[in-house]
């Protein structure tokens, strides 16, 4: 708490300094220059280019002409109604070859057994599955855990295991060079948990490059990042697939409060921000284990998901919200369990959240009420509008635009499609102030390059690796803040060098499983390492 206060004071000091600076005549002139740039119009060609650069992952050969023929307004309209666009059948066929993507978490844990499941089978606490193919995998893998559990006696045995590990490591290295389909198959047998992560990552790139529903993909990336979870935190390794599919994707153009509720009840988020362990202090006093209330989710829900850090809540509100969410938990996260409300450990006392009294004796409705209060709050309308504008318009979006977006949010009870429309149809969006002002994120840079060069993909892992080297490992942002929407996040030497090296490799067809027509696109690919390509 003390830390937070100091940081806030620091932020305040910086803000004051910036305000003082803004008062100097030069800064004032600069600010008015920036403001007037958001009034400056774009010509027709620029408009098409700009819309495609913001509402899609970049222009493919022929896109400009096609969109101009269809009409820009119509194209935007279609993108805002993704179900109206027939999806690319080639993409659907590729995704179908990655079976974990469509599985319920329960099925996923069975088909891609976790270390916990394999250990349970190894020591006989769980039954072997009956499916012969699965049984084979289980037998082989649980053997490994058995060996690990039984005490090793000799150096010979150590060496034997080292040799076996060596073979597996070599196999793993080969896996990187396989096609998506071959890898999915091989990993499922060799390292099932890796298959889940690898399919999720590969699918993200296939979709960004090949989906016809481009805005939907851009928004899925935006909102996953907003409600970030970290794939490498324990059970999130197998909970993240369903999280993105069921909690994020259905709501990106829907009602914001629905997305908040879906993420709040999603095992991935409950695990990531520890709410699944949060119980009313009174409920555990009788038990031996030292568990209690956990404020992590409550704090991030307000600070990062809804109100924003300056949204007007206090530490007391954090505690009260945490009390409302006690008992929101998961049934056995390591076995792929579902959301469950545990009445027994819920704090049933009266709570006051942002001045609203939540009467004593409540159950799951306490948390639902909090989501309602937070989603309807004017700070949330503003915070969400600003964040969207920062992604789609400019690093420092004009305040007047944010106000209009927030207004739409309030009037429509958080209808995200309506908010997007207000933004896209604004003068500021289609202005010289916005045009080519944003630094591309690594995902945008790579997906854009693959689209612009019409690349044929049989393996997207090398692209994912390039994105990671540029500083944006997919699904692996450790902090709940997600990646920044401000371009400065990506301005560093290692990132720039990775961008350059990716372009060189793409231009020479040196990325496994990614092929371009060198005669036509080699020079274009090489240009993608240059400064001009880094903006959108």
Partner 1 sequence: MASRRAFLKNSGLAIFGIGASPMWLERAVAASTNKKILVAILQRGAADGLNIVVPHGEKAYYAGRPGIAIPKPGNSEGATLDLDGFFGLNPNLKSLLPIFNDKKLAIIEACGSPDPTRSHFDAQDYMESGTPGFKATRDGWLNRTMSDDKTKSPIRAVSLGPVLARTLRGPQAAVAMNSVRDFQVRDKMAGEDYMSRYAASVDTQLKGTGKDTFEAIRILEALRKVEYVPANGAVYPNGRLGSSLKQIAQMIKANAGLEVAFADLGGWDHHVNEVGATPFIGPLANLLREFGDSLAAFYQDMGPRMDDIVVTTMSEFGRTARENGNRGTDHGHANVMFTMGGAVAGGKIHGKWPGLEREQLYEGRDLAVTTDFREVLGEVVSGHLGQRDLSRVFPGFSPKGPLGLFGANAATTTKNS
Candidate segments 4-12, 344-352, 355-363, 456-464, binder of partner 1 by CB under 8 A: 4-12
Least gap, CB of 530 to partner 1 (angstroms): 5
Least gap, CB of 290 to partner 1 (angstroms): 6
- Classify 415 as helix, strand or coil: strand
Among 170, 182, 188, residue whose Cα is nearest residue 458: 182
- Classify 468 as helix, strand or coil: helix
Among 392, 365, 488, residue whose Cα is nearest residue 405: 392
Q: Is 134 in the site for partner 1 (CB under 8 A)?
A: no
Distance (Å, rounded) from C-alpha 183 to C-alpha 185? 5
Among 305, 281, 436, 429, residue whose Cα is nearest residue 375: 305
Q: Is 43 in the site for partner 1 (CB under 8 A)?
A: no
Q: Which is nearer to partner 1, 281 or 359 (CB)?
A: 281
Q: Using CB under 8 A as the criterion, what x/- string covers residues 431-470 for binding partner 1? A: --------x----------------------------xx-
Query: 535 pairs with which residues across the strands?
Result: 439
Distance (Å, rounded) from C-alpha 31 to C-alpha 481? 28
Q: Is 27 in the site for partner 1 (CB under 8 A)?
A: no
Among 418, 386, 440, 419, residue whose Cα is nearest residue 54: 440
Q: Judge whether 58 and 33 are in contact, CB under 8 Å.
A: no
Q: Is 481 in the site for partner 1 (CB under 8 A)?
A: yes
Residue 247 carries which DSSP code?
I
Q: Which is nearer to partner 1, 433 or 487 (CB)?
A: 487
Distance (Å, rounded) from C-alpha 248 to C-alpha 242? 9
Among 301, 292, 348, residue whose Cα is nearest residue 321: 301
Q: Is 478 in the site for partner 1 (CB under 8 A)?
A: yes
Candidate segments 13-21, 250-258, 327-335, 491-499, binder of partner 1 by CB under 8 A: 491-499
Number of residues in contact with partner 1 under rule CB under 8 A: 58
Among 107, 186, 368, 496, binds partner 1 (CB under 8 A): 496
Q: Is 44 in the site for partner 1 (CB under 8 A)?
A: no
Candidate segments 22-30, 128-136, 350-358, 528-536, binder of partner 1 by CB under 8 A: 528-536
Among 6, 143, 314, 456, binds partner 1 (CB under 8 A): 6
Of residues 293-312, those binding partner 1 (CB under 8 A): 296, 299-300, 303-304, 309
Among 269, 303, 270, residue whose Cα is nearest residue 279: 270
Distance (Å, rounded) from C-alpha 503 to C-alpha 294? 46
Q: Max Cα separation, the chain?
A: 78
Q: Is 531 in the site for partner 1 (CB under 8 A)?
A: yes
Alpha helices in 81-129 (DSSP H): 89-96, 105-111, 115-122
Among 109, 72, 54, 95, residue whose Cα is nearest residue 441: 54
Query: 515 pairs with which residues across the strands?
Result: 456
Backbone φ, ψ for residue 141 (5° rounding):
-75, -35
Q: Which is nearer to partner 1, 362 or 442 (CB)?
A: 442
Of residues 137-166, those binding partner 1 (CB under 8 A): 148-149, 151-155, 158
Candidate segments 76-84, 334-342, 368-376, 504-512, binder of partner 1 by CB under 8 A: 504-512
Q: Is 78 in the site for partner 1 (CB under 8 A)?
A: no
Q: Which is nearer to partner 1, 10 or 41 (CB)?
A: 10
Q: Using CB under 8 A as the criterion, what x/- string covers residues 232-251 for binding partner 1? A: xxx-----------------
> Among all chains, which residue has been given the structure tokens 């909690």?
247
Q: Is 530 in the site for partner 1 (CB under 8 A)?
A: yes
Question: What one-character-per-residue DSSP string does 296-365 give?
Answer: HHHHHIIIIISS-TTSS--HHHHHHHHHHTTTEEES-GGGTPPEEE-GGGS--S-EEETTEEE-TT--TH
Q: Which is nearer to partner 1, 250 or 281 (CB)?
A: 281
Least gap, CB of 494 to partner 1 (angstroms): 4
Q: Which is nearer to partner 1, 127 or 153 (CB)?
A: 153
Least gap, CB of 532 to partner 1 (angstroms): 8
Among 17, 66, 356, 497, binds partner 1 (CB under 8 A): 497
CA gyration radius for the chain?
Answer: 25
Query: 340 pairs with which residues across the strands?
Result: 329
Residue 514 carries which DSSP code?
E
Q: Is 515 in the site for partner 1 (CB under 8 A)?
A: no
Q: Is 285 in the site for partner 1 (CB under 8 A)?
A: no
Q: Which residues of the chain form contacts with partner 1 (CB under 8 A)?
A: 1-7, 10, 148-149, 151-155, 158, 230, 232-234, 274, 290, 296, 299-300, 303-304, 309, 439, 468-469, 471, 473, 478-481, 484, 487-488, 491-494, 496-497, 500-501, 504-505, 508, 526, 529-532, 534-535
């Amino acid at each position: 708490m003390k830390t937070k206060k100091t940081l806030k004071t620091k932020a305040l000091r910086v803000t004051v300094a910036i305000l003082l600076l803004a008062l100097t005549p030069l800064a004032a002139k600069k600010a008015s220059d920036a403001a007037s740039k958001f009034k400056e119009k774009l010509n027709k060609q620029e408009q098409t280019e700009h819309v495609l650069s913001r509402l899609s992952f970049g222009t493919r050969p022929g896109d400009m002409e096609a969109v101009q023929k269809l009409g820009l307004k119509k194209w935007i309209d279609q993108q805002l109604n993704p179900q109206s666009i027939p999806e690319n059948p080639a993409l659907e066929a590729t995704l179908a070859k990655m079976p974990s993507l469509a599985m319920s978490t329960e099925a996923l844990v069975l088909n891609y057994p976790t270390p916990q499941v394999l250990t349970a089978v190894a020591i006989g606490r769980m039954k072997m599955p009956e499916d012969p193919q699965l049984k084979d995998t289980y037998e082989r893998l649980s053997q490994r855990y058995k060996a690990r559990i039984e005490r090793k006696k000799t150096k010979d045995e150590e060496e034997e295991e080292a040799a076996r590990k060596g073979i597996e490591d070599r196999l793993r290295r080969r896996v990187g060079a396989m096609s998506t389909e071959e890898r999915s198959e091989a990993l499922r047998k060799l390292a099932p948990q890796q298959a889940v992560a690898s399919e999720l990552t590969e699918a993200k790139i296939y979709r960004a490059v090949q989906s016809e529903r481009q805005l939907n993909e851009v928004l899925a990336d935006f909102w996953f990042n907003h409600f970030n979870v970290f794939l490498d935190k324990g059970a999130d390794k197998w909970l993240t697939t369903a999280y993105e599919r069921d909690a994020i994707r259905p709501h990106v153009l829907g009602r914001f409060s629905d997305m908040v509720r879906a993420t709040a009840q999603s095992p991935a988020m409950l695990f990531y921000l520890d709410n699944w362990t949060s119980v009313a202090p009174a409920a555990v006093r009788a038990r031996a284990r030292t568990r209690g209330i956990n404020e992590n989710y409550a704090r991030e829900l307000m600070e990062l998901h809804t109100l924003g850090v300056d949204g007007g809540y206090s530490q007391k509100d954090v505690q009260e919200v945490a009390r409302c969410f006690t008992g929101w938990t998961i049934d056995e996260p390591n076995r792929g369990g579902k959301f469950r409300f545990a009445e027994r450990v819920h704090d049933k006392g009266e709570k006051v959240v942002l001045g609203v009294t939540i009467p004593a004796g409540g159950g799951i409705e306490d948390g639902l009420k909090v989501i309602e209060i937070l989603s309807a709050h004017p700070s949330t309308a503003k915070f969400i509008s600003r964040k969207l504008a920062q992604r789609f318009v400019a690093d420092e979006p004009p305040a007047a635009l944010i106000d209009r977006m927030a207004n739409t949010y309030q009037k429509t009870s958080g209808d995200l499609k309506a908010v997007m429309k207000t933004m896209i149809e604004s003068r500021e969006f289609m202005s010289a102030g916005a045009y080519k002002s944003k630094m591309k994120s690594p995902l945008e840079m790579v997906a854009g390059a693959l689209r612009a060069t019409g690349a044929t993909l049989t393996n997207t892992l090398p692209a994912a690796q390039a994105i990671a080297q540029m500083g944006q490992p997919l699904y692996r942002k450790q902090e709940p803040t997600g990646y920044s929407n401000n371009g400065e996040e990506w301005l560093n030497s290692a990132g720039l060098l990775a961008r350059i090296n990716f372009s060189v490799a793409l231009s020479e067809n040196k990325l496994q499983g990614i092929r371009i027509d060198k005669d036509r696109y080699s020079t274009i690919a090489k240009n993608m390492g240059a400064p001009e390509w880094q903006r959108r």
